[in-house]
Amino acid sequence: MPLRPLYGHHELRARLARSAQDGRLPASLLLQGARGVGKQRLAIWLGQLLLCERTAERQLTDPCGECQQCRYSLRLVHPDLHWYFPQLKNKDSDPSDADVAAYRSEAIAERVEADGLWTTPSGSEGYHIRTMKALVRSASIRPAMAKSAVFILGDSERLVVQEGSADAANVFLKLLEEPPPGTTLILTTSEPGALLPTIKSRVVSIRVPSVARVDIEAFLDDAAVQRRLGTTSREETIARAGGAPGSLLGADSAAASYAAARRLLDAALQPATPAGSAERIKTAARQGVAGARGAFSDMLDALTVLLHDRTRKLVAAGQESDARRTATALVLVENAKLRAHGNVSPQLLGASLISALHQTLRP
């Protein structure tokens, strides 16, 4: 299967299925929620549900997964399930609709090859005018195989409908306001505030909530996810997910933040020896300069997770005094976070924090 199963969102899925069966599902939807919470995968699930041959006749709350429509949808080759997401601009200055479709198919294939586990698009990726024109023309064509068609636009805050002629922008907005009969448009976003007001006014917004712990655990048990994430502390990983397991997949920057946090914590736990002092000084020096406050703040967030994980382990091991000291250390980190928002050198703040953590954790 090219995509991972959809983990979680059981109540929302049931509501969407009932609305679809009752004919109450809006034609233009916006799924909004935290990054990594599974909005695009949920949109694909909904698209599969709407195209499924057996859903309506059996009053199913999930696609059957067996009919021809479902098989094609799951392989991402259904001609009436159109999945768009931000891409780099095509090198061809004036690509045809066929070129746009081929370019999009290549990008979908890349996500398939990555076991259906994708990360946040880079800042240089977006929706470009040729893509939007091709999408609008596709929506004007009758469904090829099913009775309806579904268009999914992931990370829709990257839409740039003003690019090019005003006519192109107006055509897309008109499509969003009045999709052709039997056509459903599903937009997703982690940044609803970044969406154009003209888009937000034309869609019905649905909040996608955090994923429950039991479903995050199921996600982490997925063999493809395990290959991607490697071996890490399960409790730490669940805490890092913050209810949005897809956020674990990306982020080289997140991995760097946790690596830096581990180095700082390890340095603070070094004994009060010349070698230990040297390690703390070296670690503080690695915190960067004032311009690196964003990365420093990310490291502090990661450090909070590590200390929570350490506290739980100490409690489980019956080391209550060490657990209390670690819990106290969390207050030091929270204070450092507040100071990091000011004009403070990460090196100086890091040195002060390492010293305070050392005194707290190793009395």
Residue pLDDT, tens place only, 298-354? 788 789 889 988 998 999 999 999 999 999 999 999 888 878 756 567 788 889 999
Please tell me what DSSP assigns to residue 124: T
Confidence of residue 168 (pLDDT cuts 50, 70, 90): very low
Q: At 152, phi and psi to the nearest 5?
A: -115, 130
Rounded percentage of the chain residues whose pLDDT exceeds 70: 89
Query: What CATH number is given to the structural domain containing 176?
Result: 3.40.50.300
Mean pLDDT for the stretch of residues 162-176: 63
Would the pLDDT of 49 be above 80? Answer: yes
Same domain, 275 and 354: yes
Q: Which domain holds residue 19?
A: 10-214
pLDDT at site 160:
63
Between 362 and 37, where is the model more confident? 37
Same domain, 190 and 319: no
With respect to residue 55, please indicate whether it lies within any of the assigned structural domains: yes
Q: The tokens of 256 are what?
A: 């760097």
The kind and range of the H/E element at 269 are none
With respect to residue 357, please indicate whether it lies within any of the assigned structural domains: yes
- The whole model's pTM is what? 0.69
Same domain, 179 and 288: no
pLDDT at site 163:
44
Same domain, 151 and 295: no
List, for residues 209-255, the tens digit of each pLDDT value. 999 999 999 999 999 898 888 767 788 889 888 899 998 886 555 66
List, for residues 115-167, the tens digit of each pLDDT value. 888 887 766 678 888 888 889 999 999 999 999 999 999 998 887 654 444 44
Tell me how many domains the chain contains: 2
With respect to residue 219, please indicate whether it lies within any of the assigned structural domains: no
- DSSP letter string over 155-202? TGGG--TTSS-HHHHHHHHHHHHSPPTTEEEEEEES-GGGS-HHHHTT
Bridge partners, residue 184, by sequence = 150
Which of 21-30, 53-62, 161-170, 291-300 has the lowest average pLDDT?
161-170
261 close to 333: Cβ distance less than 8 angstroms: no
> How far apart, in whole angstroms, are the C-alpha atoms of residue 288 and residue 257?
13
